[in-house]
Structure 1
Amino acid sequence: MTFTFVDLFAGIGGFHAALSAAGGHAVLASEVDSAPAATYTRNWGLAPAGDVTLLAADPQRLVPEHAVLAGGFPCQPFSKSGHQRGMSELRGRMVNEVLRILEVHKPPVVMLENVRNIAGPRQGEVWKAVVSGLRDAGYRVPSVPAVFSPHLLPPDRGGAPQVRERVYIMGTFVGRERAWNETSIEPIVTPRTRVDDWTPDRWDLQRDVLEPEHAIANRDRYLLSREERDWIRVWNDFLHRTRDVKLPGFPLWSSFWGDEAVVDATAPDWKQAFEAKNIAFYKANRRAIVAWLKSNPELRSFPASRQKLEWQAQDAPRDLRSCLLHLRPSGIRAKKLSYAPALVAMAQTPVVGPWGRRMTPREAARLQGFPDWFDFGDQREALTYKQLGNAVNVGAVYFVLREHVLRDRADLEDLPLGHALVDAIANSPVAPLVPKPLHATEGQLVQQVLDPVGG
C-alpha cells in the first residue's frame, strides 16, 4: 500500500527520497529556485511548481489531496549565519502559506524542518507562532522542539556521519480542540536520542563515505591549491612545536600573539574574551610561539581567516593532514575523521586531510543520505554543493517520520488517508531504500536497494 505526499520548498528532493522510500507517492512538489528544481525533475520525474504562495492562494484547486505535507521552509531568516530577522522577513513568513494549505486539506501528518535556531532564544516568538498556528489548524504538536541529527543513527538505520542538528516539527491531525488540550505530548526525538545503542564515535568517514582515490574522476580538480597547502604546512609546524602543550578549546588567533598585543576595548564582549585568552596563551607558551613565528614569516601575508586555527580534533595526531578540515571565514577548523560538521550552502566544502583534497560531490551527497544513482547533471559543482548544503538529510527525515507515524498510529488509522499511511510505514524497512524512478516515458517505478549512506 502507498500514501500520497506534497513536497513544499522541495530543493533537490531530500523529503522526496525519504518519503518515497517509506512507500510514498508525490502528487505535488514546489520549488521557486530553477536550479534545484531542475535537479529535482531530473531525478524524480516530477517538475516542481513554483511559488508556494500561488498554491496557497487556491489550495482547493491547485493542491491535490495528500496524506503527508512535508517541507523545509526557508531557514535563512532563522539561521545563525544570517541576520536572524525571523518572521519580519518575507521568507520567514512562508510557514503561513503552509498553514493555509493545511486548513483546507487537513492531511493526517505534517512534517516541517528548519535549523535549530528557530527554537532558540532569539526566535522564541517565532516558535510560539508556528506551534500555535499548527494547533489552530488542528495539529497536535509538542511545545518542545524535536531536534535530531543523522550522526545519531546507525548506518543500518539510514544514518550518516554528519553532525546536522535540525528541528523537526511533527504534527498529527486530531482537530483544534484536542490539539490545544494535548499540548504536553513529548517530541519524538531529542539530541540525546539513542538508537539501537549506537554511539557516534563508531563512524569512520574513510570507511562510510569517502570514495576510493583511484575511482574519483578528474581527481585533480579537488586537490588543494599551493596557497592552501602553505596554510596547512605553516600551522602543522605550529602543532609540531607545541606538541607537548595542551591546546585550548577556544579559537587560536595568531594576530594576538606578540609582546605588544592588547585587548581591543571597542570589540564586543565575546571577542574581547577570545583576545584575552589568546594573549594569555601566547605568554604561557612564548618561547615555542616566537620560534614558530620567526620560522614562518609568511604567516602574516595569509588572509586574516587563515591566521586562525580551531583545533577540535581532541586527541587525534597533531597533524592537519590526519584531520577533516574546514576552511571557514572564522579560521581553519580541524576535526577527527570520524564524522563531519554540517554541510552548509556556502563555499566551505570539507577537506580530507590525508588525501589533500576536498570532498567530492558524490561524497557530500552520501553525507546527506542521497543514493549513488542521484544525478546532478552537468551543472557547476558549486551549485551542487550549495544544493546539498540546503537539503534535508534523507535518513534523519525517514527515521523521524517513521517513529512519529508508528507512535500516533491509533489516531492516524481513524483518518481517511491515515490508514494507508500507517500501513505503508509499518511495512517499510528500518532504513530508507530509495527507489529510483524511471523517466515518465519509461513506465512505472523500479525499486533499487542501496546502502543508506551510498556504500
Structure 2
Amino acid sequence: MSLTSSKNNTLDIDKAVVSHYVVSKNKIYKNRAYEIVNDSKEYNEPETFYHALQQKLFGAEDVPFLEPEKKKFTFIDLFAGIGGFRIAMQNLGGKCEFTSEWDESAKKTYYANFGEVPFGDITKEEVKSFIPDGFDVLCAGFPCQAFSIAGKRGGFEDTRGTLFYDVAEILRRKKPKAFFLENVKGLRSHDKGKTLETIINVLRNDLGYYVPDPQIMNAKNFGVPQNRERIFIVGFRKDLNITEFQYPEPFDAKKVLEDIKEQNVVSSKYYLSTQYLKTLHEHKARHANKGNGFGFEIIPDDGVANAIVVGGMGRERNLVYDHRIVDYTPVTKIKSEVNREGIRKMTPREWARLQGFPEDYKIVVADASAYKQFGNSVAVPAIQATAEKIIKIILK
C-alpha cells in the first residue's frame, strides 16, 4: 500500500469514528474522536469536515433521520448502501451503533441523511475492531458469492474469502440476539443450492442460532408498486428459546405506479430521444423474433413497476407515459429530438418512492449514481414489516 493510500484509509476511518461518536455517543468511539478533532489541523481541512464537527461534537448534524430519542433496541448496519435498513429500524425505535459501506458515493448519501460516515471495508480487522459489544440485531444486505465447498460439509471454514464469512465472524464474536439478512432471490438456486445450504448450516450449527426457513418476500405486497423479490433470512440466538417465527403477511392496500409518479412536470432530460426509442423498438423486435421476451417496457399508471436494477435494461424496463411535457428543448447532448409520444424514464425520486424511501430523503449525487444507489438498496416497507416481527419477539 502506498503512503498516500494509507493516509487516505486513516482519514476515512477518522471521519467514520468522529461522525459515529457525534451521532451515537457510544463510548467505543469517544477517546479516538477527541484525539482526531484535536489533531484535525494536520488534515488541512479547516473549512470542511473537521471544522464543522469541532463545532458540533456534542450534537448531531442537521440531518433528516436522527436517532430515536428513546431507543427500544440497538443494531448495526453492514453493507449499508444508502441506509434502507437503517430507516426501517429507526422507525421501530432502533439505535444504530455501527455502520459499514465501502462505496464512496453511497457514503456521501448516507452521511447527508444520517450524519454518519460509514466505516469502510468490513473485511479489514481494523474496521471490525470498532464494532461495539452488546448490540441486539445485526442487519446486512450482503453480496452473493460462491463458496469452495467441493467434498466438504459446507461449514464456517468453507466460507472464507467471501463476504458472508465476515458477517458470520461478527456474529460469532458479538453474539447479538438476532440477525436479519437480505439477498437476491437467486441465492436460493445459486451454485445449485449449495450456497444457501452452507449459509443456513453455518448459522444454525456453527453459530448456534434458530433460523426459520428463509422466505422470498415481494416489495409489491408491502406498500410499494414494485415487483421486487428478495430472500430474507432471520435468526435468533438459541439461548433466547425462540422456536417459531412468522414472516409478515402482505398489506391489504396495494399501490400502483400513479401513486409514486412526479406531481410536477419533469425535465426533458428524462424523455427518450426519437433515435434511442427507435433503437429500443428494434432491439425488442430482434428478441421477439427469437422467442425471447427481452426489451423495453412501458408501465401503465395502474400497473406495478418491474424490479429496479442497476445496468442492463434497468431503466428501460420501467418507462412511463407522461404527456405533460411542454418544453421539448434537449437538456443533454442527444443525437436527435425529444420524442413526442410522452415516453420517459422514471426520475431518481420515483425510484426512491418505489423502494419506500421517505420524501425528505436527500438525493445528493448525480442521477447516474442515484439510480445505482436506489437500484442496489432494499425496499424499506418490506424490511420494516419483517423487522417489526423480529423486534417484537426479542423485546419479550
> Which residue of structure 2 aligns with residue 46 of structure 1?
116
Distance 2:91 2:225 in 1: 20
> Which residue of structure 1 aligns with residue 26 of structure 2?
none
Alignment equivalent of 2:227, drawn from 163, 170, 177: 163
Gaps of 5+ in 1: 78-85, 154-158, 236-250, 257-274, 279-307, 311-329, 413-421, 424-455
**Aligned residues, how many?**
292
Distance 1:97 1:233 in 2: 45
Cα 1:365–1:255 shift into 2, 3 Å: closer
Q: 1:228-277 CA deviation, whole Å, 9 max, x = no partner?
A: 34457889xxxxxxxxxxxxxxx864774xxxxxxxxxxxxxxxxxx4xx
Gaps of 5+ in 2: 1-69, 149-157, 324-342
1:362 aligns with 2:326: no
> Which residue of structure 2 aligns with residue 344 of structure 1?
309
The residue matched to 1:130 in structure 2 has which SS? Answer: helix
Q: 1:316-371 CA deviation, whole Å, 9 max, x = no partner?
A: xxxxxxxxxxxxxx322344432111110226222112442111111110111111
Report % sequence identity. 33
What aligned pairs does 1:161-310 form with structure 2 within 5 A after superposition? 161-175=225-239, 185=244, 188-189=247-248, 193-195=249-251, 198=252, 202-206=254-258, 208-214=259-265, 216=266, 219-230=267-278, 253=286, 256=289, 275=290, 278=291, 310=293
Distance 1:10 1:362 in 2: 20
Distance 2:118 2:190 in 1: 34
Cα 1:398–1:194 shift into 2, 3 Å: closer
The residue matched to 2:182 in structure 1 has which SS? Answer: strand
> Which residue of structure 2 aligns with residue 331 of structure 1?
295
Looking at both structures, which has the greater relative contact order when contacts are Cα pairs under 8 Å and sequence separation is at least 6? 1
Distance 2:94 2:119 in 1: 19
Distance 1:51 1:118 in 2: 23
Distance 1:123 1:400 in 2: 27
> Which residue of structure 2 aligns with residue 33 of structure 1?
103
| Rg comparison, structure with higher value | 1
Distance 2:160 2:274 in 1: 40
Cα 1:107–1:254 shift into 2, 3 Å: closer
Code of the aligned partner of 1:97: D
Cα 1:255–1:72 shift into 2, 3 Å: closer
Q: 1:198-256 CA deviation, whole Å, 9 max, x = no partner?
A: 26xx43211x1001233x4xx11111112134457889xxxxxxxxxxxxxxx864774
Report the alpha carbon displacement of residue 99 of structure 1 after superposing the two structures with TM: 1.0
Distance 1:43 1:117 in 2: 30
Alignment equivalent of 2:381, drawn from 395, 407, 418: 395
Code of the aligned partner of 1:64: P
Q: 1:172-219 CA deviation, whole Å, 9 max, x = no partner?
A: 11149x79xx6xx56625xxx443xx26xx43211x1001233x4xx1
8 Å CA contact 1:138, 1:174 repeated in 2: yes
Distance 1:91 1:230 in 2: 48
Distance 1:123 1:38 in 2: 37
The residue matched to 1:332 in structure 2 has which SS? Answer: coil
8 Å CA contact 1:31, 1:37 repeated in 2: yes
Code of the aligned partner of 2:131: V
Alignment equivalent of 1:353, drawn from 321, 326, 332: 321
Distance 2:368 2:173 in 1: 39
> Which residue of structure 2 aligns with residue 384 of structure 1?
370
Distance 1:26 1:119 in 2: 29
Q: 1:363-392 CA deviation, whole Å, 9 max, x = no partner?
A: 110111111111122x22111100111001
Distance 1:357 1:151 in 2: 22
> Which residue of structure 2 aligns with residue 63 of structure 1?
131
8 Å CA contact 1:145, 1:187 repeated in 2: no
For normalisation by structure 2, the TM-score amounts to: 0.67
Cα 1:368–1:333 shift into 2, 3 Å: same
Moved over 6 A (4+): 89-92, 232-235
Cα 1:210–1:401 shift into 2, 3 Å: same
Distance 2:194 2:186 in 1: 12
Cα 1:335–1:4 shift into 2, 3 Å: same
Code of the aligned partner of 1:353: Y
